[in-house]
Amino acid sequence: MVVLRWFKNSITKKLKASTLVETLVATVLIVLMFGIASMTLNNIFGNAIKNNTDDIDRHLNQLQYQYSHQQIQLPYFDTYQDWDITIEKTASNQMGFVWFKAINNKHQKTITKKRYALTE
């Protein structure tokens, strides 16, 4: 008997429901959270792509190899993708250096590498 009374009360008990306004507010908050998250991820991935210098680093390493095996003449000027590349020899305090410099035309980013000059 007690079990039947409890079962009857639990079935006929009114459930609290949310109103339409509460549902709309919750939906708007969820949409805002997803919008902020997607803009943040877009910004992170965009910066990662923009700051990626792997290709030009690889190309500068190839040019350093060519210089060390005397396959290029200095001064050297070239363009690789959006980068202007210069290789120049400088001397200071009885020591010669070779500067490998790449400047991006779009973002004005500069990558510089320095090596000891080959003795001639």
For residues 24 and 22, what is the distance between their CA atoms, to the nearest angstrom? 5
Confidence of residue 119 (pLDDT cuts 50, 70, 90): low
The domains of the chain are located at 18-52, 54-116
Q: Which residue has the tokens 């001397």?
A: 91
> Would you state the pLDDT for residue 50?
81
Q: Is the pLDDT of residue 120 over 60?
A: no
pLDDT tens for residues 41-59?
Answer: 999 998 888 888 888 889 8
For residues 78 and 76, what is the distance between their CA atoms, to the nearest angstrom? 7
Q: Which residues contact 102 (CB under 8 A, 6 or more apart)?
A: 56, 59, 60, 80, 83, 84, 85, 110, 111, 112
Q: Which of 101, 87, 104 is nearest to 51 (CA)?
A: 104
pLDDT tens for residues 58-74?
Answer: 988 898 888 888 888 88
> Would you state the pLDDT for residue 73?
83
> Is this model's pTM higher than 0.75 or not?
no
Q: Is the pLDDT of residue 2 over 80?
A: no
- H-run or E-run covering 117: none
